[in-house]
Structure 1
Amino acid sequence: MDHVSATRARPGLALVLTAVALAGPLAPAAAAAAPPGTEAGVELATDRRSVSAWLPYWGDTEAAYQDALEHADQLHTVSPFWYEASADTVKAEDGAGNEGIIDGLHRAGIRVVPTVTETAGPAEMAALMHDPRRRAAHVDALLEMAGSRSYDGVELDYETMATTNDRATLERVRTGYNLLTRDLCARLHTRGKECVITVLAHVRGSGAAYDYQHLGKIADTVRIMGYDLHWSGGEAGPLSSKDWYEEVLRYATDTIPRNKIEVAFPGYGWDWTKGSKGRAGHLTWKEADSLRKQTGADYHFDAASGTPHFTYRKNGADHEVWYQDARGVAEQLPLLKKYRVRGTGLWALGFEDPEVWAALRGQ
């Protein structure tokens, strides 16, 4: 889903790290781990497991953690949704840096690469990223966070900066983000840590804030959010579709090495109220499946998109729910096979249809 909106609906921020003040020494640098130098579209052999997943800090964190452990044989990376950056600070969400979770995931053979979102708008972020001093301070703050625990890297999920239709501002965001990610990835690599960049799908006018070709060169992994084709603020419809994935993957594999691409599937859905101007309500797969059963709604599957949906009536209003389940993921995975992309992701642990793991294993 819209990761940024998800965090803003949740309470609690703690532990402020002021970027300008973060000039102190970091932990000793590990051996450099530069990303493979490959050409976009080249399929490379890899022995890594093929699934990453986000771990939300809200809701039942323990259940999400146990979900990760239960599927440790498939997961290569878990990204706890723990940090939020403003222009000059990096803040930790409630429960961030839980060493019990970090150590438990490591014992299970899962890498821990925490997610950082950002709150500054497009113009503010563009100004920061084009200012060498402020950009360096921002990178210092991220590196300080990365060294605060036994993390294996950092994931940037900067989406707020991409929310503009002003072409000039968008171009400054794109070029500024190239500078920021160049600096961050290089310094992470000198410390032996991964640099993961999450992006909106570059399709149908979306995702223009991200220079896929540049990110494919400097990042270890580029995670593409393969959802919200229809979103909470728009018309009802599938969160993703086969033809949409076709467009997403065609562009991605033309610009990013295939071994660096991850396409994340949704474990959630949206509940639209017909005739309402309000935003749709968020439902995890578990909540959607429970709601369908409680209301006695018929399960429908849209073969064209590869997604389930149903309708129900409540308090005199008609509702339309679209979401994703294991059947839908299994229907859409052949698109990844067609483009020889092995990397998959899941938003988010604890949200999903339990059978989705069997579907992902079959890829």
Structure 2
Amino acid sequence: MNKYKKLMSLLIMTVFTITIMLPVTPAYAFSVSDLLGQTTGSNDSSGLTNMGTGKGLIDILLGLVLSKFLGSAFNSPADGPTKDSPANGLSNALSKEFVGFYAEWWDTDVSSYNSMVKNADVIKTIAPFWATMQADGTINDRGGNDHASVVKTAHQNNITTLLLVNNAKQDSATPPVHTVLATPALRTTTINNLEAYIKKYDLDGINIDFEMVPAEDRDNLTAFMRELSARLKPQGYIVSIDVFPKQDESNDVAAAYDYAELAKYADKIMIMTYDNHGMWSGPGPIADIRWVENSLKYALKYIPKNKLYLGIAAYGYDWSANGVQSLEFKPIMDLAQRYGAAVKWDDASKSPYFSYTSNDGTAHTIWFENSESLKYKLALVTKYDIAGAAMWKLGEEDPAFWPVLRDKFLKK
């Protein structure tokens, strides 16, 4: 026993010396739980009061090392794994993250802002849609409210902010996104401009939302994300990307997203599992649960689950002979009330819908998302143990979303 005591004393002094020499970890980049690769499984925070201090880190490291040492020193080989040990397949899962896409369609549009502030106890990250990439690599600011104030408010509420940048729409035979992605010099110019933008507004990283990327640019998109990651990640910035859902590689509109390669460079990948039906189709579910699950299962073949976020819609579409109109939840409910339409439930797709005839005699059909359909989407987050969910967009949602989201994503 004297030999063990001497070894324990030496071990304690060694760990203590190493610990006090460790660099301080920035609060915005990591937590102690991240560093140790585990969290507690309890809601009891009494044991976490010193987690942000050097003493807390020392206690944890000593506890881990000594428990391992003492187990080796005093347990006989016959002692099998305890019921709580990893050998029995039990581990503590990381908490899930809720991401809110954020947009301002006009200067006085504060719907996303109000939703963010009201639900800051749930939202861990916002991705403000403030920028558009042009064919020459310049980044156009989309306007909206005072960006700096939004970022300041988000940070005061412990909400990470990622710049959402999309690509300019095609206005000629050559899509602007192809011009940039296929030209190394323009990729560098774009990355320079994106870096300058996120630094200007003290953002925490970036969310790439390049859509309708030509299939021929599959490798070019990967190269862009590799170069963007190499520039931003060493500086502590988060790199994320939104991708179209698919269930095989024959889907032309999603072919440019090389899931496996993108997962090497992106910290977060948001799969846009909505618009199952939309502007280009006849009436139908916004996010048929069967289509959503199959898309998620396919993505998980290539993307680590701790990087994957399920896209959640907060809106609906109104189909009629006059075209298709995107609507937020409140106007949808207003229409149902105005025309006395009963909301129905499609059990196969787990989606609500209704039909009505407007005053001019035009027949309309609306499919949308509500708190009930949301529950089935969030069940997939749990079932497949993915990183979380990302909703388009804050301010459009059913108010009853939030009690459901709070059960799943309440920030500790």
Which residue identity is paired with 1:255?
Answer: Y
1:123 positional shift: 4.9
Which region of structure 1 is more displaced relative to structure 2, 131-140 or 204-213?
Answer: 204-213
What is aligned with 1:283?
A: 327
SS for the counterpart of 1:161 is: coil
Who is 2:184 aligned against? 132
Gap runs ≥5 in structure 1: 1-29, 163-169
**Is 1:216 paired with 2:260?**
no
| Aligned residue identity for 1:346 | M
| C-alpha separation in 2, matches of 1:236 and 1:334 | 25
- Whether the 8 Å contact between 2:102 and 2:393 is mirrored in structure 1 is yes
Query: Structure 2 CA distance, aligned partners of 1:328 and 1:313?
Result: 25
Shift of 1:192: 0.9
Distance 1:125 1:248 in 2: 25
2:197 equivalent to 1:142: no
**Larger relative contact order (Cα-Cα within 8 Å, sequence gap ≥ 6):** 1
Residue of structure 2 in register with 1:234 after alignment: 281
Letter in 2 for 1:287: P
Supply the distance in 1 between the matched residues of 2:154 and 2:175 (Cα, whole angstroms): 38
Counterparts of 1:267-282 in structure 2 under 5 Å?
Answer: 267-273=314-320, 276=321, 279-282=323-326
- Equivalent residue, structure 2, for 1:158: 210
Give how far 1:32 is off. Answer: 12
Q: Distance in 2 between matches of 1:46 and 1:146?
A: 31
Q: 2:382 aligns with which of 337, 342, 350?
A: 337
Match of 2:233 in 1: 189
Is it true that 1:351 corresponds to 2:396 in the alignment?
yes
More moved, 204-213 vs 343-352:
204-213
Deviation per residue, 1:157-191 (Å, 9 max, x gap): 001425xxxxxxx1x21111001011001211022
The structure whose residues are more often helix, as a share, is: 2
- Distance in 2, Cα, partners of 1:362 & 1:64: 21
Bigger Cα Rg:
2
2: CA distance between counterparts of 1:124 and 1:85?
8
State how 1:275-314 maps to structure 2 within 5 Å: 276=321, 279-314=323-358
The 5 Å alignment of 1:55-94 reads 55-58=102-105, 61-88=109-136, 89-94=138-143
The two structures, once aligned, show a CA RMSD in angstroms of 2.6
Question: Which ranges of structure 2 fall in alignment gaps of 5 or more residues?
Answer: 1-25, 38-89
The Cα shift of 1:31 comes to 12
Does the 8 A contact of 1:114 with 1:153 survive in 2?
Answer: yes
1:203 equivalent in structure 2: 247
TM-score by length of 1: 0.81
SS in 2 for 1:113: strand
Task: Kindly indicate whether the alpha-carbon contact (under 8 Å) linking 2:105 and 2:144 is maintained by their aligned counterparts in 1.
Answer: no
Q: TM-score, normalised by structure 2?
A: 0.72
Distance 2:189 2:145 in 1: 22
> How big is the shift at 1:235?
0.9
Q: Determine if the alignment matches structure 1 residue 117 to structure 2 residue 161.
A: no
TM-aligned CA distance change 1:101 to 1:130, over 3 Å: same
Distance 1:45 1:261, change over 3 A: farther
Distance 1:141 1:97, change over 3 A: farther
| Counterparts of 2:91 and 2:178, CA distance in 1 | 35
Could you give the per-residue CA deviations for residues 40-86 of structure 1, whole angstroms, max 9, x where no partner exists?
xxx99664551001111115632321211221111110111111111
Contact 1:83 1:116 survives alignment (8 Å): yes
